[in-house]
Structure 1
Amino acid sequence: MKLVWMAGFVFLAFSSFGWGSEKDQKKPNVIYILADDLGYGDLGCYGQKVIQTPNIDKMAVEGMVFSQHYSGSTVCGPSRSCMLQGKHSGNTYVRGNGYLQMRLDPQDQIFPSALQKAGYHTALIGKSGLGCNTDDALLLKKKGFDYFFGFTSHTAAHWYYPPYLWRNTQRVQYPNNTQHAGDQYSSENVIHEALQYLERQKDGPFFLHLAFQLPHASLRAKEEWKAKYRPILKEKVLDSKEHQHYSWEREPKTTYAAMVSYMDHNVGLILKKLDELGLAENTLVMFASDNGAMQEGGHRRDSFHSSGELRGGKRDLYEGGVRVPMIAWWPGKIKAGSSTDHVSAFWDISPTLRELAGAEPQLDTDGISIVPTLLGRGKQAQHKNLYWEFYEGKGKRAIRQGKWKLVCLNTNTQRKPKMELYDLDNDLSETKDLSKKYPELVAELYKQMDELHTMSEHKKFRLAAEVLEQPKK
């Protein structure tokens, strides 16, 4: 697909899509569901052959499937930051995982606060995307969420039997939980809260960010879900070992498949609840994953071909690390059984949802509204390029422009990093490095990278060249 650059962000009138301008029309509700570390190939509608995901597959049949949708980053913290802020990782404050969180407004502003001003009740249920290792539950309220239930700390979200979760600024204690075992399975608590929230807010309009910790490690699933896969996988049970950071799982394949299917079951509960409440035709549901397939907690992404034909996974800037599944469902508004190869990214979510909500448009976004694609009306603007930077593993950067993808390695340690060039139209698996064949193109794309990058205000997230250029104190 050839990309055509349309300069600037064109804010389409809210009334042009048949709601909002008329007093008898309701603003649409929005549910944005985010899986944690789910691979591009982990869903049936994206080619998965073993793991069963009937509810998400049905959502795809009744909605729109995106084949070229990209996450904000290749790990959770910066990826979620890009989605909430409407910016790529060259312009955000949270550009990696660690002991940090978003700053108070007017810094690091996120789109739910704009939806609040447009009359929406806003909620985040599950894993917070406003920080990484923090227990600052008050931050959710300050940044634009009316209601919160779940994890503030990404490290705590590694475990499915936490000693507590947050409800707004109060801890909900689970005294019998020991991180790896207990009587309160966090994913059950999260979906229960989400269903109750829909009941309370059925009069709308509402925005619910439902951020599953599934299927990220530690590997933990209920027996009823593991039992479904034992006859299929016939996995040899491993010997027991002592738990380290992640739990030791004796049936890693069986458990991972069970976790994905349980997540799919929970998506089905959300869609069923919308039908029961009569909200389906006025609710946009979007489903995506925060980054590519993981290899943690005993799971190996090759066990289920989790990245599909894409190279790499989580912590890579190859396609397997940043290209993610994305499905949009809205009965009567989004054409059933449709698909798109439109190139989109997490930083498009903010301008898209602001437009649908009739909220104030974001002037400093790196994103483009995908409303024309979703509703099949108007001309869809295209990205000139997409950009990522990542600071683990000696540092990595990547840019996509049309069919071309430039990946840079060792950006934390070398002023002149290693560069690899790929033609995604003819080499989706990124097996043939063409950098030596097209040196002028490499130079041009690298120049664009520098134009897209702004020096981070956090010294942890600076490139080697910037560090070397800083005056000695």
Structure 2
Amino acid sequence: MFHRSKPTTPRTAALILRLVCVTCTSIFAILPPSMAAPAKPNIVFILADDLGWSDTTLFGTTKFYKTPNIERLAKRGMTFTRAYSSSPLCSPTRASILTGLSPARTGITTPNCHLPQVILKAATTPSGPANHKATFAASVSRLDTKYYTLAEMLKDNGYATGHFGKWHLGPAPYSPLEHGFNVDVPHWPGPGPAGSYVAPWKYPDFDANTPDEHIEDRMAEEAVAFMEQHTAKPFFLNYWMFSVHAPFDAKKDLIAQYRKKVDPNDPQRSPTYAAMIESMDDAVGTLLDTLDRLNIADNTIIVFASDNGGNMYNEVDGTTATSNHPLRGGKANMYEGGIRGPAIVAYPGMVEAGSRSDEVIQSSDFYPTLLEMLSIQPQPNQSFDGISIMPALEGKSLDRDAIFTYFPHSPPIPEWLPPSVSVHRGTWKLIRIFYGGDDGQHRYKLFDLQNDIGEQHNLASKRPDLVMELDALIDGFLSDTNAVLPLPNPKFNAATYQPELEGKAQLKGESSSPKKQRRAKPVAGWRPKGTTKLWTNNGLLVVTSTGGDPHITARLPKATAAKRLVLHFTMSSDSSGPGQIFWQEQGVNPPFTAARSKRFDVQHDRKMHTYSVPLPAQQPVLAVRIDPSSAVGTIKISTVTLKTAGGKIIRKWNF
């Protein structure tokens, strides 16, 4: 006889579900590891700071630097020969990694995220220096918490998240702790290590464990502790190294060792920088050793990359910090040396060990790539400017048309360019220089990287059809990202424009030199520089120069909160050339640059003339510098007064 069963009540269903769950749990508990559900892979993301394409031994471009642990990592995965940072400077690239978005879209286009002013929306600037044809865009200064970062995504998918090392995307409430990380060590918002790589350093509430402790050794130690604490669940270790950013110092014994190996004919010849490279590589080795010791290397995805190209504008040990040869340029410019760097992705069982790829990848690709590797879907309506590079990791070609680099700025460094944007498609690269041509038109540089990796031959005039084709891609990119663009500069003065000086600049003085020049003593609050001599005579400040470009500086007793300032002074001159006033702003380095200066015409007739020069500062002013001429001569200055635009006296110097 067939009997119909009674309907299952909600209470009965719940009991059945509990029995099923208990049974399944018991079954998985007795299954051998090979049959149990695979654990989610761990992720270790190592980002070097300012590490150039030729700063490792991966590509056969250096004989001086030693990176055996980076080579060891390369043997575990795939090395990319054409890996590009999203920007030639650090903060924009860092934001790109965490969001998968271009700096053109986030608005973070300069590394200003340590400065006090909070800017969450990029803006155009109405004018620029008179010797520039285009204005500079005003950058965002914090990574807005509105973005759903890679760390937040992984945290919401069961990962323990830890950030170690450099951040430079804003202090609290924009620190790693507000962007998805459970741990942030040493919780430092600055642009580089605090004071020194070797203790004593200046991190608040983060003291050295031993005298002369190296910060990278300590960061690796902290990262090891994090991994050891999270072996029972998947972790995301975000190790963003301080190395090899300025300040330039290292372990003394290592510097001494490399000093013995210097080849004066090798463009890489700074023993300090070589020692910094070695400490960076040691930290990579510490992480690899730990993954092996914990038996989790086979279930860990490792990404290694750099945030921009190698630094070739700081002077260290009497030479450039490094050389990116055969690439042109370096950090902070748009040539290959500024945006091309080493990159490795390792994941046993998925990525072939010891493999290489010539596919073009960019920083914004890592977020979508990791999601695909982990089978995690993006949030609804979440999109990326990058793409998943999984096909490349599988040895295939990528289906992408082009990558873009947006840098609407012009720092005065070797190989500098005016505000620019570039596109890479295949082996071709086009740089658009905003309004850099004649009659307000853009100017272009076109390079065939396959045959001209050093970007020495501009083919724009020979291939106008290709320029037009690639420039249309740039237009589409700028429109899609809603990029805030440079504008034609209404204050452009052709008389001050010197196109022959494009790309030419002196090296910045090294931050730690074995031979330090004695600083000249101040006179009446003003300090002479270089070949300038200074004294007072009958109520006048007398400035003489035997080597050209005389200039004097004065610090204010305290930073002034006023931004719109005017410097008033009276002077006579028998020198020649225009005058220029510089001002130093709080939290901005280097202290004096052309971007924060104003030129003025000088009457060199030995008669006294009064001058009033506006100082449109963006941050509180710390110091002012007067360049009264650009040649040999004698200048006599009477009272100097710094006032607000409203007439309030900030500082007055009497002689």
TM-score range, shorter chain: 0.7 to 0.9
Residue of 86, 101, 104 corresponding to 2:145: 104
C-alpha distance after superposition, 1:186-214 (max 9, x if no partner)? 22321221111111112231111101111
Q: TM-score, normalised by structure 1?
A: 0.80
Aligned to 1:224: 253
Is 2:75 aligned against 1:41?
no
Q: 1:365 aligns with which of 368, 379, 384?
A: 384
2:42 aligned with 1:29? yes
2:454 counterpart residue number:
429
Secondary structure of the 1:341 match is: strand
Contact 1:93 1:456 in 2 (8 A): no
Query: For 1:203-259, what per-residue CA distance to the aligned partner results, in whole angstroms no more than 9, with x for missing partners?
Result: 231111101111111111112322331321278xxxxxxxxxxxxxxx981110001
Aligned-residue offset at 1:140:
1.6
How far apart, in 2, do the equivalents of 1:465 and 1:456 lie?
Answer: 20
Q: For residue 315 of structure 2, what is the aligned residue in structure 1?
A: 298
Amino acid at match of 1:186: I
- What amino acid does structure 2 have at the position aligned with 1:266? A
Partner deviation per Cα, 1:343-363 (whole Å, 9 max, x = no partner): 111110000111223323263
1:60 aligns with 2:93: no
Q: Is there any run of 5+ residues in structure 2 with no aligned partner, and where?
A: 1-34, 116-140, 411-417, 492-655
Q: Secondary structure at the match of 1:172?
A: coil
Q: Please identify which structure carries the higher helix content.
A: 1
* Identical positions, percent: 33
- 2:286 maps to which of 258, 269, 289: 269
Give the aligned residue type for 1:406: L
Match of 1:121 in 2: 160
> Which position in structure 1 is the counterpart of 2:328?
311
Correspondence for 1:4: none
**Structure 1 residues 157 and 462: CA distance shift in structure 2, 3 A:** farther
Q: Offset of 1:455 from its aligned partner?
A: 9.0
Q: Partners in 1 of 2:480 and 2:189 — Cα distance?
A: 27
Report what 1:334 is aligned to.
Answer: 351
Alignment partners' CA distance in 2, 1:208 and 1:337:
23
Shift of 1:408: 2.1
Whether 2:166 is the aligned partner of 1:152: answer no
1:205 aligns with 2:234: yes
| 1:406 and 1:422 in contact (8 A); partners too | yes
Matches within 5 A, 1:75-94: 75-94=89-108
SS at match of 1:69: strand
The amino acid that maps onto 1:344 is I
Residues 314 and 320 in structure 2, CA contact (< 8 A), matched pair in contact too: no
Q: Runs of 5+ in structure 1 lacking a partner?
A: 1-21, 166-170, 236-250, 469-473
Deviation string 1:298-324 (CA, Å, 9 cap, x unpaired) is 239986873131111111111111111
Structure 2 residue matching 1:425: 3-state secondary structure: coil
Aligned with 2:316: secondary structure? coil
- Match 1:72 to one of 86, 89, 114: 86
Hey, what does 1:452 align to over in structure 2? 477
1:214 aligns with 2:280: no
Deviation at 1:341, TM superposition (A): 0.6
Moved more, 333-342 or 410-419: 410-419
Relative distance call for 1:348 and 1:138 in structure 2 (3 A) is closer
Distance 1:467-1:348 versus aligned 2 partners, 3 A rule: farther
Letter in 1 for 2:84: Y
Q: TM-score, with normalisation over the residues of structure 2?
A: 0.59
Q: Is the 2:271–2:317 contact (alpha carbons within 8 Å) kept by the matching residues of 1?
A: no
Change over 3 Å in CA distance of 1:300–1:306 after alignment to 2: farther
2:221 corresponds to: 192
Higher strand share: 2
1:50 and 2:67 matched: no
**1:463 lines up with 2:502 in the alignment:** no
Which residue number corresponds to residue 384 of structure 1? 401
Q: Tell me, yes or no, if the aligned pair for 1:118 and 1:358 is still in contact at 8 Å.
A: no
Label 1:302 to 1:448 Cα distance change in 2 as closer, same or farther (>3 A): farther
Q: Is 1:93–1:102's contact at 8 Å kept on the other side of the alignment?
A: no
Corresponding letter in the other structure for 2:54:
G
Deviations 1:4-52 (A, max 9, x none): xxxxxxxxxxxxxxxxxx9610111111101111110111112121111
Residue 409 of structure 1 aligns with an amino acid whose one-letter code is I
Equivalent residue number for residue 132 of structure 2:
none
Q: 1:31 & 1:412 partners in 2: Cα distance?
A: 42
Is 1:406 the counterpart of 2:406 in the alignment?
no
The 2-side partners of 1:332 and 1:300 are apart by 45
How far residue 163 of structure 1 moved from its aligned partner, in angstroms, is 4.9
How far does residue 90 in structure 1 lie from its aligned partner after superposition? 2.1
Alignment partners' CA distance in 2, 1:199 and 1:415:
59
Residues 431-453 of structure 1 show CA distances to partners (whole Å, capped at 9, x for unaligned) of 11111111122122222212111
Contact 2:270 2:319 in 1 (8 A): no
Q: Could you say which residue in structure 2 is the equivalent of 1:7? A: none
SS at 1:32 equivalent: strand
C-alpha RMSD of the superposition = 3.1
Alpha-carbon separation, structure 1, partners of 2:480 and 2:193: 30
Q: Which residue of 1 aligns with 2:527?
A: none
